Structure 1
Amino acid sequence: MIGGAGGIGSACAKALAEAGAKVAVVDLSAEAADVVAATFNGCGYAIDAGDEASIQDLHGKIESTLGAVDILVNSAVVFQAAEPATRLSMSHWDKVVRVSQRATFLACAVFGGGLPSAPSGN
């Protein structure tokens, strides 16, 4: 559960755990990830989700701790400030793209190869 310590992410992580999944809660903050993970006996991990090496390392850690990954949920996001482009700083925009787009792509690329396929598309 990448972005698992936020509102939507923590709710999804808890729902998956209640359904019987072993859940890894991943967030930029180790403390926040651990707090959420402790509510259902999950594992917390802190990484920069926009960093390829961090995602690859995370994949290895999760598989060695929890086993093969069956479900990937990307909930990490940085919301764009409510500003017109003329007033939005490039540093903020770069952070939006790094977390909201790059991190999702990296997680899918790294974890996707091991995910089971569903022939019906479900």
Structure 2
Amino acid sequence: MSHTVEAKSADVSDVKASQMQTISALSVDETERLGTEIVAALKTVFDPEIPADIYELGLIYKVDIKDDRSVGVEMTLTTPNCPAAEEMPMMVENAVASVPGVGVVTVNIVWEPTWTPDRMTDEARLVLNMW
């Protein structure tokens, strides 16, 4: 999301973390807007077999908004044998890409950490009657 620029020094080994500066091409307000709208878009994506959205189910592990407005999403599925495994990444990509101002979207399926029902929000638990 941001670039790290090291201070110029004759001896790079002398550069300390306190001399590093973080610069982002996106303003804080724009980053917050994109983040909020991306989460809202993710909440429109549902696993076809589960009546809760993938965000509330805890299937989204990471959303990385980069300076060039490209977005990387790391997500998992409830099981490697999920019938929606082929279509789910495209559904997520399309949802995130629909957010105004978002550039290229990349979705990666990851299996670590393994998804468990503990990752679900209270809202998902309520919808699934898991109280």
TM-score, scaled relative to structure 1: 0.29
Structure having the higher strand fraction is 2
TM-score, scaled relative to structure 2: 0.28
